Structure formats: C-alpha cells, structure tokens
Amino acid sequence: MIVPTNALFKHAYGKYAIGAYNINNLEQCMGLFQGNLQSKAPFIVQLSKGARSYSHKRMLESLMKTADEIFPDAVFAVHLDHGDEATCMDCINSGVYSSVMIDASHESFEKNIEITKRVVQAAHAKGLVVEAELGQLKGVEEDVHAAEHVYTNPEEAATFVKRTGCDSLACAIGTSHGAFKFKGDQKLRYDILTEIQKLLPGFPLVMHGSSSVPKEEVDRINAAGGNIKGACGVDADQFLGATKLGVTKINIDTDGRLVWCRVHREFFRDHPEMFDLRDPGKVFIPEYAKFIAAKNVKLGSAGQLDAARAFCKANQ
C-alpha cells in the first residue's frame, strides 16, 4: 500500500524513525520489500536522480507500481531523493511519488527558499509532500558534493520552514554522505536537533548520511579483493536517541551498496566458473532483506507495520 509520506511521519514522530532506503535495481527492490515485511516495518523507498538516470525513470516507477501489487501487505511511501527543481517537477507530475526532496542547500539562504517554495506550491497542489535541506553534509553521494560540513542553524531552520511551507527538513548535524563519515570519535550535533525541535515542535526532521558502514562488511569486501580503507559510519545505536529530538526519517544508502559489493565479490571469488547474473542475485536478495530487517530494529520501526497501516487508512 503506497501511502502519503506525511501520514507515516505523523505515526512515527517521537516513537521511531522511518527507514528511507535507496534502490537502483530489481534485486534491491525485492530484498527491500521482503526485509520490511519480515520485520513488519513501514518504510520509504527512495529513488534518487542518479537512480532514475541509471536505468530509466519509468523503469523504476513501474517497479514501484508492480511492488505495490505483489506485496499487498507492505506499507510504504515513494520518495525522490536529492532532486533538483526540474526533477522534482517531473516526479510531482508522474503520479507515482508520495513525496519529493528538493535539494537547493548549495544555494544561498534566500535562493534556497525561493526554489523550495516553488516546488512546495507545485507538490501541494498535487497532494505531495516536500522535504527540503538546510545546511550541507560533507562527502559525495551521486550528484551531491560538499567539501566541508555546513551545520544547520536552528533559527534559520525555523524561518526557512515558515517561509517555504516544506513538510520536513533535512538537517546537517555532522553525518556525511558516502562510506567515509568520521575520523576518530563521532561528532553528531544533537544540540542542533534539540534547538530546532524547540523552535519547530512536532515538525519531522530528516537525517541524511546515516549508514553505519559495518566493519564486518568492509573487512569481508577487502578479504574478497576489495580495497576500502578507513571507512567509518554512524553508530546505529544512536538512532533512537535522535527520534526523541524530532528525527522521523533516516536515510540509508551506502550500507546497502556494501552488502551488494560483499555478496558479489565473495560469490565470484568462490565460484570463478559462474557467469549468470541471477546466481549472485539469488544470494543478494535474502542477504539484503536480512540487512533491512536488522536496520529496522535499530530504527525502532520493526513491528510497527499493522499500526502504521491502520493509522494511514484512518488519515487518508
């Protein structure tokens, strides 16, 4: 059941965080839905601008429609991740998405407001939800590049939300895009979340760059011929603490890529005679499902499926 993103926000706020998982292909889609159903969790499927161009936007949109049919017990929203204005408008008019993210965080404060406001007006006219971003996360994720952290200013965040009418806000609190998030101790700025929550009580906040980059995955990739050094991610045990400070959606992409890389490297190392892409795919799908289910436990969303379904139906 595809549901409005803001309905999931209302159900989750203060209790758990919704896992927002990026996918790019069929195998990820199958594993994602299976893992969320196994853990009985509502979730958000994220299709990025890069994912839409990797195959074709209509291919991914068709996957979402088909998944809704073959997994009738799933409760999920379909979200554009890190879109520019043109991509947001295209998704708003597609009839598939529940929400879009307009990322104009690289622009000036006033320009960010201007662009975000246009997207909000177009999205709200079609009943869609808009996520915006204020501040910048260090690192690289597809088309998003930033050399340094630009932390979100809480007072600016309150002004931004009021002037744009956006429905959720991605905040820069020290996480980073990609696999190389920290050097030494983690420095998540929960003090920033605390101040934003005071100024925007009940308003859903989003944490990007939240993959944990498990050492076991990295070590297994390297043992199978990889060369990933110094990767370090977010301690997933901190997720539930963030939900109490307004974080309602947590984005996870890199960890899923690590699972894909580990499965395929190990498979072809152990089976050098194999060449059928379906063989490692058969290993990856259940492995990815297991990863998703475990992540939902950390997010607190595991076990919330039936309650979320009832809430969304009652608030349609």
> Which entry of 81, 103, 167, 255 is annotated as an active-site residue?
81
**Average pLDDT for 54-72:** 94
Rounded CA-CA distance 217/247 in Å is 26
pLDDT, tens only, 215-267: 889 999 999 999 988 766 677 777 778 899 999 999 999 899 999 999 999 99
In this structure, what are the phi and psi dihedrals at residue 92, rounded to the nearest 5 degrees? -60, -35
pLDDT for position 179? 42
Torsion (CA) 297, 299, 305, 309 in degrees, nearest 10: 180
The CA–CA distances, whole Å, from 34 to 28, 42, 64 equal 10, 12, 14
Rounded CA-CA distance 258/178 in Å is 11
Rounded CA-CA distance 170/203 in Å is 11
Tokens representing 26 are 């069929």
Which residue in the block uniquely carries the two structure tokens 């994912």?
Answer: 51
pLDDT band, very low/low/confident/very high, at 182 (cuts 50, 70, 90) = very low
DSSP string, 263-307: HHHHHHHH-TT---THHHHHHHHHHHHHHHHHHHHHHT-TT-HHH
Number of domains composing the chain: 1
pLDDT for position 188? 74
Q: Please classify residue 39 by burial: count the beta carbons closer than 10 Å to its beta carbon, then call 0-12 exposed, 13-18 middle and 19+ buried.
A: buried
pLDDT, tens only, 70-105: 999 999 999 999 999 999 999 999 999 999 999 999
Rounded CA-CA distance 196/214 in Å is 30
* pLDDT of 145 above 80: no
Counted residue by residue, the chain has a size of 316
* pLDDT of 147 above 80: no
Mean model confidence pLDDT for the chain: 90
Assess whether 81 carries a catalytic annotation.
yes
Residue 72 DSSP SS3? coil
| Cβ neighbour number for residue 288 with a 10 Å cutoff | 25
Residue 127 belongs to what domain range?
5-314
Task: Assign residue 210 the CATH number of its domain.
Answer: 3.20.20.70
Q: Return contacts of 57-65, CB within 8 angstroms, 24+ apart.
A: 57/90, 57/94, 60/23, 61/94, 61/96, 63/26, 63/29, 64/2, 64/96, 65/96
